[in-house]
Amino acid sequence: MALYTEIKSDFNKAVEIFDSFTTDDKLALLWFIYEKMGNSITPAAPNAAEPAIAGGLFEQVGEKSQEEQLEIMRDIVSRKDTEYSRQYGGFSANTKLAFWYFLAKGMVEGLIIPMPDQYDLGDAENEWLGSIESLEFNTQITVLRELADHMGIDPTANVSV
């Protein structure tokens, strides 16, 4: 309950704790959140998101092999400096959120590598997830948007003028 109180009063704490998890646990947590919130994620960012832009990157990912799809998602989550991570990094926070929604939906539809059936989270990850699930809907969306916005690489980073 203490973690819930911390996260409820400070969204940055949710991001900070999330950042301490492994890349694969972060991907699993995003999936589990999608499973709980599902279709309510997209309407949360009505016209603010650019679905065509997020959909374009989603299509690029969808054309790859499952191993490459997983690697792209890992690169974005871990902020690795790659073409896809930079492309994602140029999105608005709402467009980033829409991209993760498209990926999760693609997993359900069999277009994107699925979540392993028996993936087990550790105690800290489960506590974090429980805290997020306990938040009010609008607060959950705000935390998700913060998480999504914190991933990827700024496309202008390390560019000399």
Question: How many angstroms separate the CA atoms of 41 and 50, rounded?
Answer: 14
pLDDT of residue 137: 85
Is there a domain that residue 160 lies in? no
Return the C-alpha torsion angle 67, 77, 83, 49, nearest 10. Answer: 110
Write out pLDDT tens, residues 137-150: 888 888 899 999 99
31, part of any domain: yes
Grade residue 46 by pLDDT with cuts at 50, 70 and 90. Answer: very low
- The answer to the question of residue 11 being in a domain is yes
Q: What six digits make up the tokens of 82? A: 């790659």
Is 70 inside a domain boundary? yes
Residue position matching structure tokens 């400070």: 10
Q: What is the pTM of this model?
A: 0.88
Question: Which range marks the domain in which residue 140 is found?
Answer: 2-149
Question: What pLDDT shows up at residue 52?
Answer: 82
Question: Does residue 56 lie in a domain region?
Answer: yes
Mean pLDDT of 19-43: 85
In a domain, 155, yes or no: no
- Whether residue 161 is contained in a domain is answered as no
Could you tell me the CATH number of the domain that includes residue 144? 1.10.2090.10
Residue 159 lies in a domain: no
Give the chain's domain count.
1
